[in-house]
Amino acid sequence: MNKLKLTADQQLVLNALRTDHLTSFQILEKVDNISLILVLYNIIDELKCIGILKTYSKENKKYHYTC
C-alpha cells in the first residue's frame, strides 16, 4: 500500500479537523501558518480530491470533516 505524502499545510488542516467538524473560518483561526482564506480553500479542494476530506452544509454554513 502506498503512503500518501501530504504537504505541511495539508497536515495542519487535517490536524485542525481531527476532533470537530469546522467551517473554513474556524479552520483558519486554528491554523496559524495559513493566513489567507483563498489558500485554505485550495488546500480543502486538494484534500477533497484525495478523498480524505468531506463537506456538508448546515444552516447555510459549510462544514468540513475528515473521512
Report yes or no: 42 and 26 within 8 Å, Cβ to Cβ.
Answer: no
Residue identified by cell 447555510 is 60
pLDDT of residue 2: 55
pLDDT tens, N- to C-terminus, the chain (67 residues): 457 899 999 999 999 999 999 999 999 999 988 878 899 999 999 999 999 999 999 999 999 999 8
pLDDT of residue 1: 46
pLDDT of residue 57: 97
Residue 57 phi, psi (nearest 5): -110, 140
Instruction: Measure the CA–CA gap between 16 and 39, rounded to whole angstroms.
Output: 15
Instruction: Measure the CA–CA gap between 49 and 46, rounded to whole angstroms.
Output: 5
pLDDT of residue 53: 96
pLDDT of residue 3: 73
- The one-letter amino acid code at 60 reads N
